[in-house]
């Protein structure tokens, strides 16, 4: 009888421990649990979490971890720079369960001034990972400012929805850039994503070996590069970037190069746009400018070379809209361009002060 009682005690003391280590102990439902769970678990669930205002959801994951968002992750309002979420790790997987949402409550920040004034608005989601990390099926709702910033190596981002469409009313949600590629990024794949916003759909500031495919953009400022600004030297080298099989509707631009004049020397090289469809673009279908921020300035130090644009088609709208608009600040910085299969209808006449060999702007 005594042996039987001892056996029961042993079983009752071990079974709950095994069960909780697999499930409850690795599920985050309160912000106070974050650090403990991340340090002890590699298969993590964040379920219906409320993140206090002014706190960053810092996900410093162990190598090889998997993290899944379930339900609604909501961020209380606080006027700071963010980012609200930062993910760090090597060879990690971060994903959203079906129906999950990360809600930044951007509608409570939007004031029509974006990052240029008004209340301080936090950036939303920042990725700084390595080692073949995977981010998939994440739904970001109502970004206060920049939605997703990638500063990572060897990463794939797939199946995301970045939804700030509520900010379209009265154009109050400025600077809600969708996906930004920032310093030290290398070997990045972004595919099967949808962006609804009021600034760049995609913007590349720096990086190498980057591919975007099957991206759908609504109401945006287009597929963009932004380089050469002030002392930001890391912005001055971008190479081997491809955009393909993508769709842009009802935004200001389709393809947009934003190069600051008189900035540091640098280059944009081996850039490809292929199979891009436009619909209802309101200003320029293709706009390549080396005078961004100082219109008409011819002092560009940024080389744009080995640029291929092929099979870009669709429509722009309005008499002042240009299918193609090219302003090379210095003709020695624009060379080895190949344009083909461009068929953009509507709008007024195009304007180009530089044309690729064998291609007519009009």
Lowest average pLDDT, out of 156-160, 261-265, 287-291, goes to: 261-265
At 287-305, the pLDDT tens digits run 999 999 999 998 888 999 9
Among 199, 200, 284, 291, the active-site one is 199
Neighbouring-strand partners of residue 195? 162, 217
pLDDT at 237 over 60: yes
Output the pLDDT for position 194: 98
pLDDT at 2 over 50: no
Encode 144-164 in three state secondary structure. CCCCEEECCEEEEEECCEEEC
| Mean pLDDT calculated for residue range 141-149 | 98
pLDDT at 7 over 60: no
> For residues 243 and 264, which has the higher predicted lDDT (pLDDT)?
243
At 27-50, the pLDDT tens digits run 999 999 999 999 999 999 999 999
Among 163, 200, 221, 267, the active-site one is 221
pLDDT at 284 over 80: yes
Output the pLDDT for position 15: 34
Please name each of the domains of the chain with its CATH number: 2-352 (2.160.20.10)
CA atoms 83, 254, 250, 341: torsion sign: negative
Output the pLDDT for position 204: 96
At 167-219, the pLDDT tens digits run 987 768 999 999 999 988 999 999 999 999 999 999 999 999 999 999 999 99
Would you give the end-to-end CA distance of the chain in angstroms? 97
Confidence class for position 232, pLDDT limits 50, 70, 90: low
* Distance, CA of 307 to CA of 203 (rounded, Å): 17
Residue 23: CB atoms within 10 A of its CB come to 11
Token pair listed for 111: 């004031």
At 48-81, the pLDDT tens digits run 999 999 999 999 999 999 999 999 999 999 999 9
Q: What rounded mean pLDDT belongs to the chain?
A: 91
pLDDT at 1 over 70: no
The pTM of the full predicted model, rounded to 2 decimals, is 0.91
Is residue 199 part of the annotated active site? The answer reads: yes
Closest CA to 301 of 290, 310, 293, 309: 290
């Amino acid at each position: 009888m005594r042996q039987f009682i001892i056996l029961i005690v042993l079983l009752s003391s071990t079974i709950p421990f095994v069960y909780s280590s697999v499930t409850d102990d690795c599920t985050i439902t309160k912000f106070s649990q974050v650090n403990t769970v991340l340090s002890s678990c590699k298969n993590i669930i964040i379920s219906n979490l409320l993140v206090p205002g002014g706190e960053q959801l810092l996900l410093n994951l162990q190598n090889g971890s998997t993290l899944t968002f379930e339900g609604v992750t909501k961020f209380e309002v606080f006027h700071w720079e963010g980012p609200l979420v930062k993910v760090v790790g090597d060879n990690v997987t971060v994903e959203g369960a079906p129906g999950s949402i990360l809600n930044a409550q951007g509608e409570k920040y939007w004031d029509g001034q974006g990052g240029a004034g008004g209340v301080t608005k936090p950036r939303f989601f920042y990725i700084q990972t390595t080692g073949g990390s995977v981010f998939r099926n994440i739904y970001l709702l109502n970004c206060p400012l920049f939605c997703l910033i990638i500063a990572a190596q060897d990463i794939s981002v797939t199946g995301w929805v970045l939804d700030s469409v509520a900010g379209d009313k009265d154009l109050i949600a400025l600077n809600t850039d969708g996906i930004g590629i920032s310093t030290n990024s290398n070997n990045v794949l972004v595919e099967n994503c949808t962006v609804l916003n009021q600034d760049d759909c995609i913007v590349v500031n720096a990086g190498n070996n980057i591919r975007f495919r099957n991206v759908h953009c609504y109401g945006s400022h287009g597929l963009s590069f932004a380089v050469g600004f002030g002392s930001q030297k890391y912005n001055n080298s971008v190479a081997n970037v491809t955009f393909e099989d993508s769709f842009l509707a009802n935004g200001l631009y389709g393809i947009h190069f934003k190069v600051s004049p008189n900035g540091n020397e640098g280059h944009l090289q081996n850039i490809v746009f292929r199979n891009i469809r436009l619909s209802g673009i309101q200003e320029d279908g293709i706009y390549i400018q080396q005078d961004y921020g100082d219109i008409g300035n011819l002092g560009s130090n940024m080389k744009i070379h080995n640029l291929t644009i092929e099979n870009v088609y669709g429509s722009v709208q309005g008499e002042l809209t240009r299918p193609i608009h090219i302003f090379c600040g210095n003709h020695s910085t624009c060379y080895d361009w190949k344009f083909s299969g461009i068929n953009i209808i509507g709008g007024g006449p195009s304007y180009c002060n530089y044309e690729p060999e064998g291609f007519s702007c009009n």
